Structure 1
Amino acid sequence: MTTLEFSYSLNKLSSSLKPFALKLTRDMDDANDLLQDTMVKAFTNKDKFTEGTNLKAWLYTIMKNTFITNYQRMVRRGTFVDTTDNLHYINSGDILVENGAFGDFAIDDINNAIEKLEEVYKVPFMMHFRGFKYHEIAEKLNIPIGTVKNRIHIARKLLKGDLYMYQHRN
């Protein structure tokens, strides 16, 4: 495969990688950075790609490994080695002690907001929250998959509105 063909194939597949990058990073800017890092690594290592194999799978593997490496690097950056005799690894983050009261209030507010949802929204939302896939919810409730996705979306939107006070809290 020529460099031009390889570059064209990478460009064509980049749009299908973006949702995976967003799922990994949960941030659009970080997803774009991860996608760019993946493309650069793929292009610089094009000689390691075996023609006739699945390029898309190869790119997904590069992306996943890049994400893991970046995550591990970030964790290491936040940890330092204590050079005292005990040689403990200590997280360097600020020490913060909470009594959990805020968390209890938040959980109560979340549960109350969920209870206020209409059943048509609450049931699919809770099934999805418990780990059911969209198609499983559709089968169990005997409704189209598009309806399931729509009801879960509406439930999230309603919950976001009810729980706006927690939106920018760390």
Structure 2
Amino acid sequence: MTAIEFSNVIQRVAQSLRPVAFNLTRDTDDAKDLVQETVLKALMNREKFKTGTNLKAWLYTIMRNTFINNYNKITKRSSNIDSSEYLQYLNTDENYITQNKGTATFVMNDINKAIAGLSEEHRTPFMMYYIGFKYTEIAEKLQIPIGTVKNRIHIARKELKQTLKVYKQDA
């Protein structure tokens, strides 16, 4: 199929794309733009079309992918965080900004004390899980059933939650 024949066929089929484009965009002007962009992409990628296959389906695929890509671009653009409230800190001298790490130190001391207060049979699997071991790895290393590992970790969490309930934030 020559380029002119291909262009003519595309123009005829493009009319049937408009209702689908409108369903996607829900706006007449956006639907026309989507069809136009689809036709342009089809003409630019003529060599990728295999003669004898369904041209209409190929165009629908191009249109759907174009719509999805445009939608993703729009949502990324509109989901930027408004950082204007932080602009006041941009030109401040860093020597005047200090951080109080005392609270974090107290919290970590309480957490470490609570973990140390766990029985050895609960603390060991809990700490292994905490540092990244999977249940099956813990069961193999400690030579205990996986159900026992899960139970001991559950009990450790429950005891820690009870011990550290002063830090619970009301949601």
Structure possessing the higher radius of gyration over alpha carbons: 2
The structure with more helix, counted as a fraction of residues: 2
